[in-house]
């Protein structure tokens, strides 16, 4: 959401918060994918496989 605000917010928004879009250089699509989406996706895959394997092996949740 922050990326969309950074890209599309009008100048009145930036003046009301006392910042500019340039004050957030670390807010990029690359940082979003590498720092958020990729680790979350990998964690969900690992966690999902552990849950499914435990159901198949034990017939119940943890």
Cα 44 to Cα 50: distance, rounded to the nearest angstrom: 10
What's the total number of domains in the chain? 1
Please state the pTM of the whole predicted model: 0.68
Q: What is the pLDDT along the chain (62 residues), one digit of tens a residue?
A: 899 999 999 999 999 999 999 999 999 999 999 999 999 999 999 999 998 888 887 766 65
Helices and strands (DSSP H and E) totals, the chain: 4, 0
Tokens read off for 19: 């910042």
Answer yes or no: are the C-beta atoms of 14 and 21 closer than 8 Å: yes
């Amino acid at each position: 959401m922050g990326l969309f605000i950074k890209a599309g917010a009008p100048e009145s928004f930036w003046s009301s918060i006392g910042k500019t879009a340039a004050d957030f250089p670390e807010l990029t699509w690359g940082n979003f994918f590498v720092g958020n989406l990729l680790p979350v996706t990998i964690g969900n895959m690992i966690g999902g496989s552990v849950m499914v394997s435990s159901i198949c092996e034990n017939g119940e949740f943890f």
